[in-house]
Amino acid sequence: MTLTTEHSAATSEQGESIVVAGRTPEQGRRPSQSGPLAIALAALDFQDFGGLEEILVELAIGLQEDGNDVTVYTCTWASHENQYVRRLRDANVRLVQPNRALSHLAQDWATKERLLAVLMRCLAPLTFLLAAYDKLVRGKDWRSARHSAFCWLRGRVGKIILRDRRPWLARWTLRADWMRRRPDVIHIHGFTKNLLFLLEWAARQGPPVVYEEHSTPDERFDWWDGFEAIGKADVVLACSEASAAALRRISGTQTAVLPRAPLCPDPCADGQSPPARLKKGPLTVTVIARLDTAKGLPHFLEAAAIVRRRRPGTMFRIFGDGQLREELSTYASSLGLDAAKILRGRFERSELPRIMAETDVWASASLVEGQSIALLEAMAFGCAIVTTNVGGSAEVIEHDRNGLLCAPGNPEELARAIERVADSAELRRRLGAAARRDYEGGPFQRHQVANATAKIYRRLLREKAI
């Protein structure tokens, strides 16, 4: 079955794990106007590393610490070793996700291919009969008839097996759990079109629906067809003013689209100062990003090659993983860069202070951005920042005061900005200090954002009750 009873953190990864670190549910609906809220937060999945995951997890923890009953739903299964799953478990936030085996059958291409191969072996007698028909009736030679029958049958079976079943599995999983624990409000965290199917389904369930888009629509990318569907939400949250304006323009929705405050907990909240920059070794430029098209990483590599030709001692590092890893590795090598030293792979959040302490310049070459969590973290750590002027970046970075802004897709301009910061320790100090001050004065803390979000939930509940 897809849904299991609640488990503790000791649930076996081989089992039917659905709920991690769950609490005993209270019977019936919670008070929705003044008491704690029953809140459902939904996402497509938990990648090993991602800004959407950071925001969702921090919001879930903040809402629960404020006394609400929070459940996080994912549409695909994630390992108990995933850092975001662990953080929810450690904070005692309930997590519901599909069964592991069914999730793999629904989305994993390799699993689907293996299943298709097994089914085709089981259907060998039918393949034989179809081939015999072709040989006897149509006069084909046996080898040709057998190949034709196999391809025809595989095509029909493949249409069933290879279809993406995640929408069906996600709706089934959520419906089964919501029959027991009906939420007061549903908050969907999407990235481009990946959860529009869940938004349309949730809008029919009754509770208020909040849809939050974690990117900024950009007409250069074919990711936004059908985005008028966000109008089915009761309110749409955007990660920046720029994102909110783009969402209104692309979707044409009459639904309220509200920019929310960025969420990035203070890494120095325990009273320690931001780590001092290293005084020894080569000047180090760091990027923290998914290896994804939107992050503009080929442009960063081109900028790195330009800087290295003029300043050979400069070190460049990219922390993060993704589908473009091999492509970027090949491209870095073609530019004369050491791909193994630049592409550092995934990392745990606990490693972030060390990474930032080793960083002299934090950089971003993003082509599309919502509100970069990595950028806010760089501000919190007091780094000198060089970033492209996309999405919400210009809403937190003022050029030449707390960072440098560059045009996206322009490696030469990015290289000149990196060189300018690299050549002046005083400029690095000034930019980093201003970035840290702006972070301290901003509304970025977990409870600030959780409280503001809960106010939106309660307003929607009051409006629904009228």
Which pLDDT does position 269 carry in this prediction? Answer: 67
Q: Which residues pair with 362 in a beta bridge?
A: 286, 385
Q: In this model, does residue 8 exceed pLDDT 60?
A: no
Q: How far apart are the first and last CA of the chain?
A: 39
Alpha-carbon gap, residue 30 to 424, rounded angstroms: 57
Alpha-carbon gap, residue 255 to 272, rounded angstroms: 43
Which pLDDT does position 21 carry in this prediction? Answer: 37
- Residue 138 structure tokens: 């149509």
Which pLDDT does position 218 carry in this prediction? Answer: 77
Output the 3-class SS for the chain: CCCCCCCCCCCCCCCCCCEECCCCCCCCCCCCCCCCCEEEEEECCCCCCCHHHHHHHHHHHHHHHCCCEEEEEECCCCCCCCHHHHHHHHCCCEEECCCHHHHHHHHCHHHHHHHHHHHHHHCHHHHHHHHHHHHHHHCCCHHHHHHHHHHHHHHHHHHHHCCCCHHHHHHHHHHHHHCCCCCCEEEEEECCCCCHHHHHHHCCCCCCEEEEECCCCCCCCCCCCCHHHHHHCCEEEECCHHHHHHHHHHHCCCCCEEECCCCCCCCCCCCCCCCCCCCCCCCEEEEECCCCHHHCHHHHHHHHHHHHHHCCCCEEEEECCCCCHHHHHHHHHHCCCCHHHHEEECCCHHHHHHHHHCCCEEEECCCCCCCCHHHHHHHHCCCEEEEECCCCHHHHCCECCCEEEECCCCHHHHHHHHHHHHCCHHHHHHHHHHHHHHHHCCCCCHHHHHHHHHHHHHHHHHHHHC
Q: In this model, does residue 7 exceed pLDDT 60?
A: no
Q: In this model, does residue 305 exceed pLDDT 90?
A: yes
The answer to whether 19-104+166-262+446-465 and 284-440 have equal CATH topology is yes
What is the overall mean pLDDT for the chain? Answer: 84
Q: How confident is the model at residue 237 (pLDDT cuts 50, 70, 90)?
A: very high
Which pLDDT does position 271 carry in this prediction? Answer: 52
Which CATH class, in words, describes the domain spanning 284-440?
alpha beta
- Looking up tokens 């203070």 gives 266
Contact 47, 32 (CB under 8 A): no
Which pLDDT does position 419 carry in this prediction? Answer: 96
Which pLDDT does position 277 carry in this prediction? Answer: 53
- Looking up tokens 């069933």 gives 160
Q: Which residues pair with 128 in a beta bridge?
A: none
Contact 187, 214 (CB under 8 A): no
Measured on CA atoms in the order 6, 7, 9, 12, is the torsion positive or negative? Answer: negative
Which pLDDT does position 10 carry in this prediction? Answer: 34
- Residue 380 structure tokens: 């919190």
Contact 454, 63 (CB under 8 A): yes
pLDDT tens digits, 15-55: 333 333 333 334 344 444 568 999 999 999 998 888 889 89
> Strand 19-20 and strand 94-96: pairing?
antiparallel
Contact 453, 59 (CB under 8 A): yes
- Residue 129 structure tokens: 């009969």
Amino acid residing at 73: Y
What length is written for the chain?
466
Alpha-carbon gap, residue 105 to 127, rounded angstroms: 24
Calculate what percentage of the chain has a pLDDT beyond 90: 45
In degrees and rounded to multiples of 5, residue 212 shows phi and psi of -120, 120
Q: Which fold has domain 19-104+166-262+446-465?
A: Rossmann fold (3.40.50)
Contact 363, 387 (CB under 8 A): yes
Query: How many alpha carbons lie under 13 Å from residue 278 in its C-beta half-sphere?
Result: 16
- Residue 415 structure tokens: 């290289």
Alpha-carbon gap, residue 149 to 130, rounded angstroms: 6
Own/partner pairs, 338-343, CB within 8 angstroms, 24+ separation: 341/315, 341/317, 342/301, 342/304, 342/316, 342/317, 342/318, 343/291, 343/318
Q: Which residue has the higher pLDDT, 116 or 315?
A: 315
pLDDT tens digits, 52-109: 898 999 999 999 999 999 999 998 888 898 989 999 999 999 999 988 877 767 676 6
Which pLDDT does position 352 carry in this prediction? Answer: 87
Mean pLDDT confidence for 151-170: 81
Mean pLDDT confidence for 312-327: 93
Mean pLDDT confidence for 200-210: 91
pLDDT tens digits, 262-281: 888 887 765 555 555 555 66
Read off the pTM: 0.75
Q: Which residue has the higher pLDDT, 452 or 49?
A: 452
Mean pLDDT confidence for 5-10: 33
Which pLDDT does position 13 carry in this prediction? Answer: 37
Amino acid residing at 76: T
For the chain, give every domain's residue range: 19-104+166-262+446-465, 284-440
